[in-house]
Amino acid sequence: MSAGAVIVGAGEAGVGAAFALRAAGYAGPVTLIGGEAELPYERPPLSKDVLGGGALKPIRAEADYAAAGITLLRGRTVRRVRREAREIAFEDGGGLGYDRLLLATGAAPRRLQVPGAEAGPVHTLRDAADAFALRAAIEPGMRVAIIGGGLIGLEVAAAARGRGAAVTVLEAGPRLLGRGVPAELAAILAVAHRSNGVRLCTSCSLAEIVWRDGVADLRSADGSGTLADLVVAAIGVAPRTELAAAAGLAVDNGIAVDAELRTSDAAILAAGDCCSFPHPLFGGRRLRLESWQNAQELGQLAALNLTGGRQAVSHVPWMWSDQYALGLQVAGLPAAGAATVARHHGGDRLTLFHLGADGRLVGASGLGPGNSVARDIAIARRLIGARAAPDAAYLADPSASLKALLSLLPAAAG
Amino acid sequence: MANWTRACGVEDIDLEDVGRFDHAGRVFAIYRAPDGQFYATDGICTHEHAILSDGLVMDHLIECPKHMGRFDYRSGAARGAPVCVALRTYPVRVEGDDVLIDLG
Ligand SMILES: Cc1cc2nc3c(=O)[nH]c(=O)nc-3n(C[C@H](O)[C@H](O)[C@H](O)COP(=O)(O)OP(=O)(O)OC[C@H]3O[C@@H](n4cnc5c(N)ncnc54)[C@H](O)[C@@H]3O)c2cc1C
Ligand code: FES
């Protein structure tokens, strides 16, 4: 009997891959190994609904795993990959053979490096356990300081305000969301946070934390200070590459894979936040994305290619964030654009189109109440995927039908 | 028992598009397929709380505006992550200029 497919990491990418293996007709054993004890759950709600008091949202119902013939091992950590023997070794002893292996190990929060950061409790948010700890710690009236004005930091800020805390966000860069979200939209979000009572401090580089009687004094490089009862570090994540590196696989800002998600060992693939891959849609540029849709898409692609497929990455990157009543969506790579075209819908709804130097649409981003920018972004995603070069004046005109642009595309763009 | 209710006018929804219909505290989505046929489903996604009529209709699929879950609006069937639970569908009938749905 074949040793089967083994997936390390039961997050969005790993779970998606396990079910996609079955959907692709793979009949061998499928073992999905996750270091966490919970039934695999969605991470995006952690900084939204779960911090607000909601329950975890399982990716799939428990019964689905057995029904699909997937062996789910929870609370088991893989310590080593022995490539010569084609087996993995568990931290708690024992091992398991594989004839194909998928690494879907995700990413881990970066830790604060400043003096004093280890001298008191600094929360991070990646796992369910982190969310429960943070939720239990935040109390009305408490002073909460969040280090990092990225998406997670800002979602935590909104949730902490929702729980009645006094919130300060310290961001080292000159503006919020410096990575991946255009300045125009970040500015609108900054206004939303301020009007919801969040104190935002940009160009505020944390130099040191001094703890006194459980209160943190956060000293900035410019000499200013902020007192906080609770400190959250939301300064980004680093891909979990330890297993791959120890097994001698190539690592380049993540486990380095080719466009078919193969590592430097053809029997081992990687998917999700843990890997970097060349994207054909963007001139083969090597990307490492930290988004839910990317994890799903790569998980599914990995399953196809684990079962003999030879398909290259083709999805258009997409992500969203919810803060207060506002919904943000980003498709493609806005930062790869040379020019930005704004479509003002009136009210507080704005869509931006990002055109490459050759006129091709390479990104789109939008912000508005609820899901009001979703259609624009859904259409833009298809245009980006089809390498379309729509007319800038047309894009800017809110009365011109975006959907009509789709009918000009080759049929496969749906 | 049939319970036919007027949801909208025929011209209220473009071809290959969707509209929202609120009735008795519930939200429905009314679709007009590329071939002109009308269909109706529950108006809220089965994944989280999102109003499906804010989404994009392509052919016979509605794409949820919130996380891109897809459904075939003729049968309600879920078509891929993150949605795995089908949408409830309702019979539709066109009478003159009116689109009626059977709320059962
Ligand atoms: C709080 C939060 C909010 C987010 N919100 C959004 C959002 O609004 N929109 C969006 O697009 N994206 C969002 N994201 C990002 C998105 O959730 C991630 O991109 C996605 O979860 C990545 O999936 P993954 O499977 O690659 O990794 P992960 O979800 O990190 O899963 C990896 C799993 O592998 C396990 N693992 C690692 N090493 C081992 C080992 N050696 N042995 C066994 N198990 C191991 C880990 O414990 C983990 O469970 C959010 C993320 C967080 C943390
Ligand atoms: S709410 Fe519809 S896909 Fe998530």
Q: Mind giving me the DSSP string for A241-266?
A: -HHHHHTT--BSSSEE--TT-B-SST
* pLDDT beyond 60 at B41: yes
- Whether this prediction's pTM lies above 0.90 is answered by yes
Q: Is A378–B81 a contact, with Cβ atoms under 8 angstroms apart? A: no
* pLDDT beyond 90 at B2: no
- Cα A178 to its chain centre, rounded Å, is 15
Distance from the B56 Cα atom to the nearest Cα atom in chain A, whole angstroms = 6
Number of domains in chain B: 1
Distance, in Å, from the CA atom of A108 to the CA atom of A11, rounded to the nearest integer, reads 12
Domains contained in chain A, CATH given: 5-108+238-306 (3.50.50.60), 122-235 (3.50.50.60), 325-404 (3.30.390.30)
Give the side-chain half-sphere CA count within 13 A for A247: 26
**How do A230-233 and B92-95 pair as beta strands?**
unpaired
CA–centroid distance, A349 to ligand 1, in Å, is 30
φ, ψ (nearest 5 deg) of residue B39: -140, 160
Residues near ligand 2 with C-beta < 6 Å? B 45, 47-48, 50, 64, 66-67, 69, 82-83
Mutate to test the pocket of ligand 1, among A33, A43, A289 (most ligand atoms within 8 A of CB): A43
Q: What is the pLDDT of residue A1?
A: 53
DSSP symbol at B51:
B
Nearest to A108 by CA among A273, A209, A238: A238
Q: String of b and e for A277-311 (b: at least 16 CB within 10 Å)? A: bbbebbeeeebbbbbbbbbbbbbbbbbbbbbeeee
Nearest atom in ligand 1 to the alpha carbon of residue A299 is 25
Q: Cβ distance A40 to A10 under 8 Å?
A: yes
CA–centroid distance, A174 to ligand 2, in Å, is 34
Q: What is the pLDDT of residue A180?
A: 87
Q: What is the pLDDT along chain A (414 residues), one digit of tens a residue?
A: 578 999 999 999 999 999 999 999 999 999 999 999 999 999 999 999 999 999 999 999 999 999 999 999 999 999 999 999 999 999 999 999 999 999 999 999 999 999 999 999 999 999 999 999 999 999 999 999 999 999 999 999 999 999 999 999 999 999 999 988 999 999 999 999 999 999 999 999 999 999 999 999 999 988 889 999 999 999 999 999 999 999 999 999 999 999 999 999 999 999 999 999 999 999 999 999 999 999 999 999 999 999 999 999 999 999 999 999 999 999 999 999 999 999 999 888 999 999 999 999 999 999 999 999 999 999 999 999 999 999 999 999 999 999 999 988 876 544
- Cα A53 to its chain centre, rounded Å, is 22
Q: What is the pLDDT of residue A58?
A: 96
Q: Cβ distance A369 to A349 under 8 Å?
A: yes
Q: What is the CATH number of the domain that holds B57?
A: 2.102.10.10
Q: What is the pLDDT of residue B1?
A: 77
Largest CA distance in chain A: 66
The sign one gets for the Cα dihedral A343, A345, A346, A350 is: negative
Q: Does A282 touch chain B (CB under 8 A)?
A: no
Distance, in Å, from the CA atom of A331 to the CA atom of A347, rounded to the nearest integer, reads 22
Q: What is the pLDDT of residue A414?
A: 47
pLDDT digits (tens, 9 = 90+) for B44-75: 999 999 999 999 999 999 999 999 999 999 99
A352-411 residues touching B, CB cutoff 8 A: 370-372, 374-375, 378-379, 403, 406
Q: Does A24 touch chain B (CB under 8 A)?
A: no
Distance from the A327 Cα atom to the nearest Cα atom in chain B, whole angstroms = 9
ipTM above 0.90, yes or no: yes
Distance, in Å, from the CA atom of A41 to the CA atom of A38, rounded to the nearest integer, reads 7
Q: Does B68 touch chain A (CB under 8 A)?
A: yes
Q: Is A374–B55 a contact, with Cβ atoms under 8 angstroms apart? A: yes
Place of tokens 């979200």: A181
Distance, in Å, from the CA atom of A109 to the CA atom of A133, rounded to the nearest integer, reads 15
Distance, in Å, from the CA atom of A391 to the CA atom of B89, rounded to the nearest integer, reads 39
Closest CB to A378: pick one of B59, B63, B84. B63
User: Which range of residues forms the domain containing residue B72?
Assistant: 4-102
CA–centroid distance, A327 to ligand 1, in Å, is 21
Structure tokens at B78: 């879920």
Distance, in Å, from the CA atom of A127 to the CA atom of A135, rounded to the nearest integer, reads 12
- Mutation target to probe the B interface, by most B beta carbons within 10 A, among A315, A318, A403 is A403
Q: Does A16 touch chain B (CB under 8 A)?
A: yes
CA–centroid distance, B86 to ligand 2, in Å, is 12
